[in-house]
Amino acid sequence: MTCILETRSLNKEFGAVIAAKDLNVQINKGEVVGVIGSNGAGKTTFINMVTGYLKPTRGEILFNGKSIMGHSPRAITRAGMARSFQVAQLFPEMTVLDNLIVALAAAESARPSFLSPLRSDARIARAEEILKEFGVDNYRDSLVTAVPQGARKLVDIAMALIGNPQMLLLDEPTSGVSVDEKTDLMDTVMNAVRQHGVTVLFVEHDMDVVERYVSRVLAFYSGEIIADGEPAAVLADQQVRDLVTGHRPTTKQGNGAS
Amino acid sequence: MRLDKTEISLGLIALACVLFGFVSPGWLIFLLTIALAKALVVQGVVMQMRSGLVSFGQGLFYCIGGYTVGMGGQFFGIHDAIAALSLGMFVAIVVAMLLGLLLTRYREIFFAMLSLAFSMILFGILVKSQELGSTDGFNVHDWTLFGWAPEAGAGSQHTVFTMTVVSGLIVAVLIHRYTKAGIGVICEAVRENEVRVEYLGLSPRWLLYGNYVAAAAVSALGGGLTALATGHVDPEMAYWTTSGEFVFIALLGGLGHVAAPFIAAIVFSFVRTYAIEFVPHTWQMILGFTLLAVIIFLPKGLWSLVSREKTGERA
Amino acid sequence: MTSLLAVLIDGSIYASWLFLVAAGLTVIYGVMRILNMAHGSFYAIGAYSAASLVGWYFNNGMGPAWVSYLLLVGAALVAGLIVGVIVERGLLRLMYGRDEILMVIITYALLLILEDGMKIVWGVSPYFAYQPYSELGRTSLGLLKVSNYDVALVGVSALLGLGLWAWLERTNQGKVLRAVIHDREIAVAMGVNVKLMFTITFVLGTTLGALAGALTAPAISVVPGIGIEVIVLAFAVVVIGGLGSIGGAAVGALLVGLSRAAAVHYAPEFELFVIYGVMSLVLAFRPEGLFGRTLARKI
């Protein structure tokens, strides 16, 4: 297996607060990795560093074996690492279809054209295709502000996926979505992701969701990774149970701490 | 080149304007010329508003366009109108390419203030330039069009009018395509969510830069045509209140349609002509109250009155 | 040597005037996040009120000259208070929470309204109130003659700056205000009456603007349009110093004042250029101004 993303002793300090401490992570191509940890454990900081939004204080980040330290988010996106957001980041005054068309055009060229129309038939067809794949084609012509929360999250992820990234980072894909909808949403997302053959890392609070989809779990606590391995092993780990999941019985509880 | 419905309508309206020019009285021709030329400057303001930036210094490019036409004729023997207008746009593009490097780092009020400052710098330089007539400015040399010299007065006025209508048509069609093209739509995307644009792998700065330079060229064309029409340029063109007027017209029209700035500029010019004549000391007050009313009741500008039915359907 | 001294003196006088003009603008922005384009009009209203009152006082040959100084200040306080309350309660209160850039446009509309409002109240012919200025005489410094009124202005400006600083840093009300500046939401949660603080701040800002105008009135002829000239200078000063910072406004005023004085003496053709040149230069290297703070967006 080849390593797609690697971080070497990644550190981030905000003044006296240590948000990331010696993070050493290796993600292999094709893996689906879940990231767990309580609020403020450093999960989003990790994603923000890897995607270039935050500059690490120290350390090294390699994507496909090449350093991406200090690269801008757009350079990292173009290199093939896309992300979604805790709060869906969309273009609120555009329709769902237009959101995806913009994403598609952006993926096609870093220099958008000055005079040829953005909404070409080919782009519309491709956008419709991915909307169907995500099951949100019924919102095609709605403004995103008029679309329910769950569908917004799906559009957000679809925008990241339409550019055919090699790796996708999902920051709490199910946050803000009701408990009943979570499984449906994740099923849709994971099906789409598998079809595209993308490596996935996602942050999630709900342990049931994590167990259901991932092949590997990273547990964060106070800026450090305290456990890394197969879901069953990590979730059974005493330290993880003490610090992250709480003493949660292994039976279903269906309650997402968010 | 296939034309869509909007483009054909624009063409027909422009043709009607040109024909109207043959029968209309001189004062009306002049008023319309100035209004349409200003509308071009306003198009530049609107282009930036679409990307989320409000320029309180578009007078800079209006003034550059005007002064280049004036100086070209006075000092460098460029008497051909098309050449002079093109030169004005070229100078504006060069200046915008330099200033854009700095300005595209700023948003919101910082962009507004810095664009205002650059415009005031030009004002400051012109006011102190004795050779350029200081605060009085100077007159524009008689000009020719492809070697043909229109007769002074009515003849030249009529020619400028036709040129302005034709330029307006060309710019309107180009902007109409531009707003539907990649850069146009994605500039709106930058306004709505810059972080997302960055995470789609695009540089918001590059987009805003391209947009800024294009807007500068359009505004300079408006400035050049104004200089040809009035036969005079002065530093007031770069003063911040002039830029404020462009912002006003832009808001009055709204961002809904490429025709909106033209309509707003014509309405503005008519109201001003009569207001200055009949209520000279309350003209600005009328503007102020109108602006507040537009912001409160018609946040999408005058055009929203025209397109109300359409948007109503969608909502 | 003499010209260097002249630059320093002219520069300080100009700087203290700039600070007077800019202080109200920066206070309002700091607390309310409103970049007030109409600030120049408050300046002009102060100048008109003071000039008409002082002119009336002397034209009717009443009493001693020292009363005129009280009239200057009194006119500014009353005018600033009235206009400030009307504008804040009547217009701005309806607009709070809108985009910063939209607030710029709204106050631009206000500027247009006030400019003509002044023409309606005071007409378009100039007003003079030179007596308080000439009354104080001049002092000779070597070859230079300096107006005592201008020197006094430096003192007033410095006192005012110190007063503002002390009020913000040393009083309870100042503390509350700083809390509002720092984080409006938390201030509301802590039970601060933000609405009241806004009214107080805005009225303070307009009064400062009017005071600047009133104190300038004896040195100029008060005509329509003086506010429009002043506002862009004030912008330059506060943007250089960092929007919302009193200390920043003081430094910005000194920087602009001294550069302009130097330009006037050594290269007069650059007089106006230099002010905006300094502003562009500062912003190129420190976009948030010399003493401003940057805010990062959370995603």
Q: Decide if A134 contacts A157 (C-beta within 8 A).
A: yes
Q: What is the DSSP string of chain B?
A: ----HHHHHHHHHHHHHHHHHHHS-HHHHHHHHHHHHHHHHHHHHHHHHHTT---S-THHHHHHHHHHHHHHHHHS---BHHHHHHHHHHHHHHHHHHHHHHHTT--HHHHHHHHHHHHHHHHHHHHT-GGGTGGG-EEPPP-BBTTB-PPTTHHHHHHHHHHHHHHHHHHHHHHHHHHHBHHHHHHHHHHH-HHHHHHTT--HHHHHHHHHHHHHHHHHHHHHHHHHHHSEE-GGGGSHHHHHHHHHHHHHH-SS-TTHHHHHHHHHHHHHHHHHHH-TTTHHHHHHHHHHHHHHH-TT-THHHHTHHHHHHH-
According to the model, what pLDDT value does residue C206 have? 93
How far apart are the C-alpha atoms of C260 and C267, rounded to whole Å? 10
Distance from A116 to chain B by nearest Cα, in Å?
5
Q: How far is C223 from chain B (nearest CA, A)?
A: 14
Overall average pLDDT of the C256-261 stretch = 88
What's the pLDDT at A251?
45
Q: Which of C108, C228, C297 sits opposite B195 (nearest CB)?
A: C297
Contacts (Cβ under 8 Å, ≥6 apart) of C183 = none
Q: Mean pLDDT, to the nearest integer, of B215-234?
A: 94
| Mean pLDDT, residues A160-181 | 86
Higher pLDDT, B248 or C169: B248
Q: If you measure CA to CA, which chain C residue comes closest to A172?
A: C299
CB of A201 closer than 8 Å to CB of A25:
no
Residue A252 has pLDDT above 50, yes or no: no
pLDDT at C18 over 50: yes
| pLDDT for position A254 | 42
Identify the residue among C36, C104, C105, C122 best suited for mutation to test binding to B, counting B beta carbons within 10 A and taking the highest: C105
What the block records as the tokens of A220 is 């964060």
How much is the pLDDT for B128? 84
Which residues, in sequence order, are CB contacts of C70 under 8 Å at separation 6+? none
In chain C, positions 270-299, which contact chain A (CB-CB < 8 Å)?
Answer: 299
Give just the sign of the alpha carbon dihedral A182, A187, A188, A194.
positive
B71 to chain C, any CB pair closer than 8 A? The answer is: no
Flag whether the ipTM exceeds 0.90.
Answer: no
CB contact under 8 A, A93 and B198: no
The rounded distance, in Å, linking the Cα atoms of B216 and B93 is 6
How many CB atoms within 10 Å of residue C191?
6
Q: Which residue from A93, A112, A163 is facing B192, i.e. has the nearest CB?
A: A93
Count of CB pairs separated by less than 8 Å, A with C: 6
CB pair distance less than 8 Å for A112 and B183: yes
CB B195 to CB A89 under 8 A? yes
- Backbone φ and ψ for A57, nearest 5 degrees, come out as -70, -45
Contact B201 A119 (CB under 8 A): no
The answer as to whether C171 is a domain residue is no
Distance CA(A137)–CA(A134), nearest Å, equals 8
- Residue whose C-alpha is closest to residue B108's, from C239, C184, C279: C239
* Cα-to-chain-centroid distance, residue A72: 17
Instruction: Count Cβ atoms within 10 A of the Cβ of residue A152 and give its class: 0-12 exposed, 13-18 middle, 19 or more buried.
Output: buried
The reply to whether C268 touches chain B by the CB within 8 Å rule is yes
Task: Check CB contact of C223 with chain B, cutoff 8 Å.
Answer: no
Identify any residues that bridge with A62 across adjacent strands, giving them in sequence order. A6, A67
CB pairs under 8 A between A and B: 96
Give the DSSP letter string of C41-58: HHHHHHHHHHHHHHHHHH
Is residue B36 pLDDT above 90, yes or no? yes
Residue C174 counted as domain residue: no
Cβ atoms within 10 Å of B45's Cβ, excluding its own: 30
Query: CB contact, 8 Å: A175 with chain C?
Result: no
Mutate to test the interface with C, among B54, B113, B134, B283 (most CBs of C within 10 A): B113
Q: Above 60 in pLDDT, residue A192?
A: yes
Alpha-carbon gap, residue C227 to C212, rounded angstroms = 11
Q: pLDDT value at position A257?
A: 39
**Nearest residue in chain C measured CA to CA from A85:** C299
CB contacts of C283 in chain B (<8 Å) are: 102, 106, 110, 114
CB A227 within 8 A of CB A217: yes
Q: Using a CB–CB cutoff of 8 Å, tell me whether A89 touches chain C.
A: yes
B174-202 tens-digit pLDDT: 999 888 888 888 888 898 888 899 999 88
- In this complex, do B295 and C102 lie within 8 Å of one another by their Cβ atoms? yes
Give the per-residue pLDDT at C192.
77
The predicted pLDDT at position B315 comes to 34
* Residue C154 covered by a domain: yes
pLDDT score at B246 = 95
pLDDT of B310 higher than 70: no
C277 touches chain B (CB under 8 A): yes
Q: Do A92 and B193 touch (CB under 8 A)?
A: yes
Pairwise CB contact (< 8 Å): B117 & C104: no
Q: What is the mean pLDDT of chain C?
A: 82
Sign of the torsion formed by the C-alpha atoms of C170, C176, C177 and C179: positive
Find the residue in C nearest to A87 (Cα).
Answer: C299
Q: Are A80 and A63 in contact (CB under 8 A)?
A: yes
Query: Phi, psi (5° rounding) for residue C295?
Result: -120, 130
**Which pLDDT belongs to residue B32?**
92
Per-residue pLDDT of C269-294, as tens digits, reads 777 788 888 888 887 787 777 776 65
Report yes or no on C109 lying in a domain: yes
Scanning B183-212 for CB atoms below 8 A from C yields 195
Instruction: Find the CB nearest C113 among B102, B240, B285.
Output: B285
Nearest-Cα distance to chain A for B192, in Å, is 5
Instruction: Say yes or no for a CB contact (<8 Å) between A74 and B193.
Output: no
∠ at Cα C224 (C146, C113), nearest 5°?
Answer: 135
As a whole number of angstroms, the distance between CA B86 and CA B99 comes to 20
CB distance C100–B109 less than 8 Å? Answer: yes
Render C115-153 in DSSP notation, one character per residue.
Answer: HHHHHHHH-SS-B---HHHHHT-EEEETTEEEEHHHHHH
Lowest mean pLDDT among A48-57, A58-67, B250-259, C192-201: C192-201
Q: 3-class SS at C77?
A: helix
Task: Return the structure tokens found at C283.
Answer: 């912003």
Find the residue in C nearest to B114 (Cα). C280
Which residues of chain B does A82 touch, with a Cβ-Cβ cutoff of 8 Å? 199
Give domain status of residue C181, yes or no.
no
Does B196 contact A110 at a Cβ distance shorter than 8 Å?
A: no
Instruction: List chain B residues with CB under 8 Å of A101.
Output: 185
Q: Does residue A48 belong to the interface with chain C, where contact is any CB pair within 8 Å?
A: yes
| pLDDT interval class at C90 (50, 70, 90) | confident
Nearest to C273 among B108, B121, B283 (CB): B121
Q: Do A77 and B199 touch (CB under 8 A)?
A: yes
pLDDT of amino acid A37: 82
Is residue B219's pLDDT more than 90? Answer: yes
pLDDT above 70 for A233:
yes
Q: Does A92 contact B199 at a Cβ distance shorter than 8 Å?
A: no
Domain total in chain C:
1
Per-residue pLDDT at A249 exceeds 60: no
| B199/A78 CB distance under 8 A | no
Contacts for B146-152: CB closer than 8 Å, 24+ residues apart: B146/B80, B146/B82, B147/B80
The confidence band for B38, taking pLDDT boundaries of 50, 70 and 90, is: very high
Two structure tokens written together for A87: 């709060």
pLDDT of the residue at A151: 86
Q: What is the mean pLDDT of residues B289-302?
A: 82
Sign of CA dihedral A63, A67, A73, A77: negative
What pLDDT, on the 0 to 100 scale, is given for residue B85?
A: 93
Q: At what angle do helices C194-216 and C39-59 cross, to 10 degrees?
A: 50
Q: How far apart are CA C80 and CA B278, in angstroms?
A: 31
Q: Is pLDDT of A256 > 70?
A: no
Structural domain boundaries in chain B: 3-304
Is residue B243 pLDDT above 90, yes or no? yes
Q: Which residues of B touch C125 (CB under 8 A)?
A: none
φ/ψ bin of C99: left (φ > 0), alpha (ψ from -120 to 50), beta (otherwise): beta
Residue of C nearest to B52 (CA): C101
- Which subunits count as partners of chain A given 3+ CB pairs below 8 Å? B, C
A52 CA: distance to closest CA in chain C (Å): 13
Alpha carbon separation from B216 to A116, B19, C269, C273 (Å, rounded): 21, 30, 27, 21
Average pLDDT of chain B to the nearest whole number: 87
Range of the domain at C211: 2-158+193-285
List all residues 6 or more positions away from B94 whose beta carbon is below 8 Å from its beta carbon.
Answer: none
B313: confidence class by pLDDT, cuts 50, 70, 90: very low
> A171 to chain C: nearest residue by CA?
C299
| Angle in degrees, CA A85, A88, A94, rounded to 5 | 135
pLDDT, mean of residues B131-137: 84
Decide if B108 and C101 are in contact by the 8 Å CB cutoff.
yes
Maximum Cα–Cα distance across chain A: 61
pLDDT above 90: percentage of residues in chain C? 5
Chain A CA closest to residue B193: A91
Q: Which of B181, B188, B214 faces A113 most closely, judged by CB atoms?
A: B181
Which chain A residues are Cβ-neighbours of C299 within 8 angstroms?
48, 53, 85-87, 89
Task: Please tell me what DSSP assigns to residue A251.
Answer: S
Q: Mean pLDDT throughout C80-90? A: 87
Residue (of C31, C173, C20) closest to C92 by Cα position: C31
- The residue among B105, B199, B218, B314 with the most chain A CBs within 10 A of its CB, best to mutate, is B199
Handedness of CA A113, A117, A122, A124 (dihedral sign): positive
DSSP letter string, A27-77: EETT-EEEEE--TTSSHHHHHHHHTTSS--SEEEEEETTEE-TT--HHHHH
Closest CA to A196 of A241, A166, A160, A155: A166
Instruction: Using an 8 Å CB-CB cutoff, list residues of chain A that contact chain B.
Output: 51, 72-75, 77-78, 82-83, 89-94, 98, 101-103, 105-107, 109-119, 159-160, 163
CA dihedral B311, B312, B313, B314 (to 10 degrees): 50
Q: What is the mean pLDDT of residues C202-221?
A: 87
Q: Which residue has the tokens 């409160």?
A: B296
**A230 three-class SS:** coil
Domain for residue C176, yes or no? Answer: no
Crossing angle (nearest 10°) for helices A149-161 and A96-108:
20
Confidence of residue C298 (pLDDT cuts 50, 70, 90): low
- B184 contacts on A by Cβ (under 8 Å): 118
Sign of the CA dihedral A28, A31, A32, A33? Answer: negative
Q: Which residues of B touch C279 (CB under 8 A)?
A: 114, 117
- For residue A137, pLDDT over 50 is answered with yes
Q: Please state, in angstroms and rounded to a whole number, the distance separating the CA atoms of residues C57 and C72.
A: 11
Q: How confident is the model at residue C173 (pLDDT cuts 50, 70, 90)?
A: confident
* Mean pLDDT within C84-99: 83
